[in-house]
Amino acid sequence: MKTVLSTAAIGAVLAGWVAGASAQQAQPYVHDLGKLEYESSCASCHGLSGKGDGSLRNYLTKPPSDLTTLAKRNGGAFPTQLVWEMIDGRSSTDVFWHGSREMPVWGLRYRVDAMKDPATMGQPEWYVRGRIVALLDYLARIQQK
């Protein structure tokens, strides 16, 4: 029964996100979850523009990628799976907060956040996936034409 309730609650949250996305087009004051996630998690390195010009750029060994050209560098198609794996980072052999890669392993960080939040209802992976999906959506929308 608990699983059924958790699944129903997760479905309600996802339906709310979809409804929010639809309402966003009609109501400009609705928050853009992907943009908010990007600004709080990614902009310090990749910059508000996504071009790799963040305030921490000069402190990194390897310059951050220009995230606005991901599709262009992939033959015109946004590389959803590749970007998911890079953001999540947990499938990498260098899994730890940074490992040998400079980009944080956001999947671990988001999971830690989820474990602290009683609203995740024991489903931390849904929380992790939701944040990554929001980021993917935003990144897909900022691609150069």
Beta-carbon count within 10 A of 67 CB: 21
**How much is the pLDDT for 102?**
78
Angle between helices 33-41 and 124-141 (to 10 degrees): 90
Closest CA to 73 of 129, 138, 139: 139
Dist. CA 33–CA 68, nearest whole Å: 18
Dist. CA 106–CA 39, nearest whole Å: 14
Q: Identify how many contiguous H helices and E strands the chain contains and give both numbers.
A: 6, 0
Which tokens in the block code for residue 22?
């639809």
Each as own residue / partner, the long-range contacts of residues 41-44 (CB below 8 Å, 24 or more positions apart, any chain) are 41/106, 41/135, 42/67, 42/135
**How much is the pLDDT for 95?**
45
Which residues, other chains included, contact 131 with Cβ-Cβ below 8 Å and sequence gap of 6+? 37, 106, 110
**Phi/psi at 81 (5° precision):** -65, -45
**How much is the pLDDT for 31?**
82
**Is residue 65 within 8 Å of residue 49, measured between CB atoms?**
no
Domains in the chain: boundaries: 1-30, 32-141
**Is residue 15 within 8 Å of residue 130, measured between CB atoms?**
no
**How much is the pLDDT for 83?**
94
**How much is the pLDDT for 25?**
53
**How much is the pLDDT for 29?**
55
* Average pLDDT along the chain, 145 residues, taken 10 residues at a time: 47 48 53 94 96 94 94 96 92 53 87 88 89 96 94
**How much is the pLDDT for 118?**
86
